[in-house]
Amino acid sequence: MFDSDSLYHWTKDNGLISPLSQVCAVAVDSNNNVWIANSGTGYPVTEFFGVSKFDGYRFINYGIDKGLPSNDVRCIYADNKGNLWFGTHGGGLSKYNEYQFTYFLEEDGLCCDYIDFIFEDTEGGIWVAAKQDNSGGISRIYEDSIFTHSKSDGLRDHYVVCYYIDESHHIWFGTTRGFVVFSVSGSKSRIIETGLEDEIIWSIAGDHDGN
């Protein structure tokens, strides 16, 4: 961690959960705690250790034993209501409100149990997607209800590579078969545009002219 003009290096000796210290994701919650997802080293990764919370003084570690659905955490997101969301490989999505975990799984309607992206839209909806060919689509969670968009709704592909929120608050996803754009209003989300179906969209960005 870099703080002002100092660089701090944390390891297992300081309480970090992973003895191998490979960081997959970092997020800061509403209380300024730093959450760190750790996994093993090497490729492919074969060891997973859950997440560590750093309150500025010490680490508190969370794994399956404390309620995480999987120790293989790939992404963390802190939403505007103070909740933390953990995307795992094999355990789906979980929400933590400082007291308990709520789980969202493929069997409940989630796109899949292997989550690589989490973010929030301007309506308070939580979007999740995966870099997986066997994903069931793209999911949005609104007030703990799951809405999943798939090829039957107009998606060209379920393998998501990137995302972007434009100035009109539309949600763009780049996939291995072009892009898809969603509009959102409250609990409702719908596809309004698709394109470049023969291309892999690696990145999406907007310019100063709104393009």
What are the tens digits of pLDDT across the range 123-136?
A: 999 999 998 877 88
Which is nearest to 161 in space by CA: 132, 120, 198, 181? 132
pTM: 0.85
d(CA 138, CA 87): 13
CB 162 within 8 A of CB 173: yes
- Range with lowest mean pLDDT among 24-28, 91-95, 106-110: 24-28
pLDDT for the residue 182:
94
Residue 103 identity: Y
Average pLDDT over the chain, rounded to an integer: 84
Percentage, residues of the chain above pLDDT 70: 85
Distance CA 41, CA 46 (A): 8
pLDDT, tens only, 142-174: 999 999 998 888 888 888 899 999 999 999 999
Question: What is the model's pLDDT at position 170?
Answer: 94
Spell out the residues 6+ positions from residue 13 whose beta carbon is closer than 8 angstroms to its own.
none
* Per-residue confidence (pLDDT) for residue 47, from 0 to 100: 56
pLDDT in tens, 9-30: 555 656 556 555 567 788 999 9
